[in-house]
Structures are given as structure tokens and as C-alpha cells.
Structure 1
Amino acid sequence: MNKLSSQTIALWLLIAGNLSASLSDVMVKLLDGDVHPFQYIFIRQLISVAVIYPFWRRESKVSRQLHAPGLNLLRAHLVIVGSGCMVVAITHMTLASANAVFYAAPLLMLPLSILMMRETPARSKILATILGFVGVLIVLRPSQFHWAALFALTTATTLALFNVSARKLPQQQSMISTLFWTSVLSIPVATIAAAAYWQPIGFTEIMLIAAGAILILIYNGLAVLAYRRAPAGEIGIAEYSGLVFVTLFGIGWFDEIPDWLTAIGILCIILPLLPIRRPRSLSKST
């Protein structure tokens, strides 16, 4: 029963996180390429540090400490690479198409969870993830391939590594501390990259970046909580829920109406979520 409860909560945490991440994508789309990706990353990470610092200061001394610095440094730079590629992909593709590639991440998480965490996903999870990836291919039909999809694929890879590596974070490092150190450790490289491409920026753009920073912080926090509660191979497919959100946002904000084939692809991506959320008798969680 405990395992069921933990996995169910983890699934809902990821779904809520993907709603937040989808809204962050909307903020990027609204920027419409007016801010350089490196400049966007620098401002977003700086805002992230400012937002989370007061919460970090309220943590216990042990929780505030930086544990496993190498792992945290790696995750910080995965954020830089993934975020930069994400800005390029969303700017030049529709929200649904870009995110269809982003959500190849759960497929990548299966082999990564096996290699990094020694996890053994159930056959049903493997088949469900493959079905989801088939949906991704349907949405992103070869005839509509765009060069920016390569950047989206890089984002998917960094996202998969970021989420799976969360399982290796020390338990004494809290979620707040994890978000804080991930943001802080990304600042030096982000500063150097932004300085090379700096350009004037308006108040509206800063507000959009700030909103995106807060929304992605929410996603990252919920993802850390989710992947600490359950194995990546068990809940990673819940990442696909974001595709529904961005499709709806694309329709509402940008008049990006998906055709019937795209709708079929989205159904293939979403349907595997349903069996995971049905109650089953499971052994006790560790």
C-alpha cells in the first residue's frame, strides 16, 4: 500500500510539474526570439537564485550544505545546455512539435535508469514508453522535420539525465537546497556566455523571463520530489502529460491548431498514463 501511495503521489507531482513547465514554455514562445538564449539563461538563473535564496536560508545548516558537489555541478550545467537548446527549439517550432521531441526524455530515461540506478523497469512500462515514443514520431512526422528539432532532442537528453540523476542526490540535501545549488553553480558559465552576446532588453522581456524562471523552479522542485519517491522507470512516462498542456496552450495563445494525425499521436503519448494510475496490489516500498 505504501508503494502504491508513493508512486501515485510521484505521478501527480510530475503532472503538476509539467503543467508549470508548459507555462514556462509559453513565456519563452512569447519572447519570440527577441532575447538571445545565453542572455535568457543568465537572467533566468539569476532570478532563480534570488527567488529561492530566502527559502534556502530557512533550511537547517545540514540541509543548506552542498553535498555531492560534482553531481550538483553536472546537473547545473545540464540546465544550461538544455535551457539554451529549449529556447531555440520553441522559438522556431510550434509548442506541440517542440515538446513532442522534449518528451522523448522518458524513453531515454529507461536505459539511463538501468545504467545509473540499476533499476529494472517492468515490461509493461517498456511497452508503454515505446507506444509513447511512437506517438512522438507521429506528431513530428518526417515530412515536417525542422532543423530546430535537433536542439529539442538535446533538451530531451539533458532532461532525462537531470531527472535520473536526482535519484543519486544525497537525502540530507533538501529539495530547496538542491534547487539553490543547481542555480548558483550554473551562474559562472551562464555569465560568461551571456556577456559575449549581451543586448539591450526591455521590461516586458524581463517579466517574461522572471515568470519562466519561477515556473521552471516549480517544475524542478516537483521533479526532484517525484523522482526521490519512485524509480524513474516507473513514473517517467508521466512527463508526457506536458504535451497535452502545451498543445492546449498552443491553440489558446498562438492559434496552433493540430491536425487529426497530430491528435492521434498525442493520444498514443497520453494513453499509457492511464494504466499506471489504476490501483493495484503492490509490495511495500523501501
Structure 2
Amino acid sequence: MALYVLNDALVKLTTRQFGPGQILAVRGFFATMMVAGIAHGAGQLRNWRLLRQPMAGARSGLEVTTAASSVAALALAPLATVTAIMMVAPLLIVMSAVLMGWEQARAHRIAPVLLGFVGVLLVIRPTASFGDFNWGLAFALACAASLAARDIVTRAISPEVPTVLIALVTTAAVCVAGVALGSRETWQPLDRFETTLLALAAICAALGNYALIEACRGVDLSVVTPFRYTVILWALLLGYLGWGEAPDARSTIGIVLISAAGLYSLLTNQRR
């Protein structure tokens, strides 16, 4: 989580100079090279055939939508607010489990989800006017949905597929998607300082992605997910230090509700 919020902060610093496609492509290139080096050092590149399964491809596609919506959100909305909305992802996982019949629809599962969505409404404040709506918050909500789907799919990938190969194919997919999206943009020179920031962001994103994949495999998500909420504290701190961002009273209440709903859901499930 620390690596992810550092990645988001570094990406946000580049959004004024680089377009979304260039950000995804440049960061994705650095991340792919680094993960490929790790995979080569571990002797796993020769096992690339293990990736020929639908769930590995599905995860790569969800990684692309997660990265793209995240960059768009960070360009248009405050760091802490975007981060808080993304933390709805664990509640979406719970809701998905109920809707797909994996879990029974009981009060201790449904109530936190409803409370979390109340928090989201307080943060995004939907209006009837498209001109007044902050589309960065909509992208953040889309990112949360993509994150939830990505974590669910990750657990469905065969345990025989090495984590580093999953990380490699997903970072490569983001890079390719960035090149495709960037073909319609006017690219800025790569000798800018922002390129160095994206290289650092790539290190954070790749290592964070590797750590999350490793954490989600072979354990219940309820064990891993509570640690996600530490990212909100780091985002609040970095958002204030970097951009002077501070949520207003209503957004603060919404952030607290989202965090409380997620933690309550997890703690209740752990006790049971």
C-alpha cells in the first residue's frame, strides 16, 4: 500500500505535462523492464507457456482499465479523495460474493456495503449538471470496480503460475495500452524531469503489484484487505504536503464512513 500511494503521488506530479497515454506507456516500459529482469533472474521466463490461460488474460485487461482510470482520476481530483473512493473495492468484492451466491445475503455483509456507498455519495456529491460534476471522482469509482474485479480474478489463476510472470504480463499489457492510447496524443520530450518521476513510479507500481499478487494468493482476502486502509492516511499526508489538498467536512465524513464500513465488514467476517 505504501508503494501504491507513492506511485499515485509521482504520477499525479506528471499529469500536467504528459497525457494519460504517455504516462501509461513510459511508466509501463520501465516497469516491464524491471519485472522482466526479476523474472529472468528467477529463471521463470522459460515458463511463459503457463500464462496461456483465460484468467491471466482477464487480469491483464483489468490491470489496463485500473491503470487508465487511476491516471485519469489523479489528473482531475485530489489524491486523498481519489484514494478513499478506490477503497470501496473491498466492499464491492463482498457485494459481488453475495450476488454470485458465494456468500449468503446477511445483515453483517450488506450493512457495511450500504454504509460505504453512503460515504461515496458524500464524497462525489452527484449533481444533475454534467458541467458541475468532477469526472475525476467518476474515474476513481470506475477504478475501484476494476480493482475489485482484478483481485477476484487473481485468486482464480492457477497456483502453478509464478507471481512474477503474472506481474510481467500485466505491466506489459499496460505499456502496450499506453502506446495505443498515446498514438492520439502529442508526446512531450522524454528528457523532461517528469520521465524520471515516471521511472520511480514504475518501480513503486511494479513492486507494489508483485507484493499484492503474492499477498492475495493462497489466503482469504479478509486477511490482506485491512492493510489497504493504511493507504488513506498516506494519501492524506502526501496530498497535503504536495498540493496543499485537504478534504472539506462532508468529504471527510464520507472518507471516514468508507473506511469504517470496510474495516467493520472485515473484522466481522474474521470473527465469524
Q: TM-score, normalised by structure 2?
A: 0.82
The aligned length equals 265
1:71 pairs with 2:55: yes
More off after superposition, 162-171 vs 252-261: 252-261
Percent identity over paired residues:
24
2:77 to 89, 93, 101: 93
| Pairing 1:98-113 to 2, within 5 Å after superposition | 98-113=82-97
Q: 2 CA distance for matches of 1:124 and 1:235?
A: 19
1:184 to 157, 172, 177: 172
Change (3 A) 1:129 1:66: same
1:154 equivalent in structure 2: 142
Match of 2:217, SS?
Answer: helix
More off after superposition, 46-55 vs 71-80: 71-80
Letter in 2 for 1:72: A
1:266 equivalent in structure 2: 255
Q: CA deviation at 1:180?
A: 0.9
| Pairing 1:113-192 to 2, within 5 Å after superposition | 113-114=97-98, 118=102, 123-142=107-126, 145-192=133-180
For the aligned residues, what is the CA RMSD?
A: 3.0
Change (3 A) 1:20 1:168: same
Q: 1 CA distance for matches of 2:99 and 2:51?
A: 22
Letter in 2 for 1:91: A
1:15 equivalent in structure 2: none
Given that residues 41 and 190 in structure 1 are in contact (C-alpha distance below 8 angstroms), is that contact kept between their aligned partners in structure 2? yes
More off after superposition, 134-143 vs 114-123: 114-123
More off after superposition, 34-43 vs 104-113: 104-113
1:199 equivalent in structure 2: 187
Given that residues 95 and 113 in structure 2 are in contact (C-alpha distance below 8 angstroms), is that contact kept between their aligned partners in structure 1? no
Match of 1:271, SS?
Answer: helix
Match of 2:135, SS?
Answer: coil
Q: 2 CA distance for matches of 1:28 and 1:39?
A: 11
Match of 2:183, SS?
Answer: helix
Q: TM-score, normalised by structure 1?
A: 0.79
2:2 equivalent in structure 1: 19
1:230 to 219, 222, 247: 219
Match of 1:148, SS?
Answer: helix
Q: CA deviation at 1:57?
A: 1.2
Q: Which runs of 5+ in 1 are unaligned?
A: 1-17
| Pairing 1:246-261 to 2, within 5 Å after superposition | 246-261=235-250
Change (3 A) 1:225 1:132: farther
Q: 2 CA distance for matches of 1:105 and 1:189?
A: 23
More off after superposition, 114-123 vs 188-197: 114-123
Change (3 A) 1:20 1:277: farther
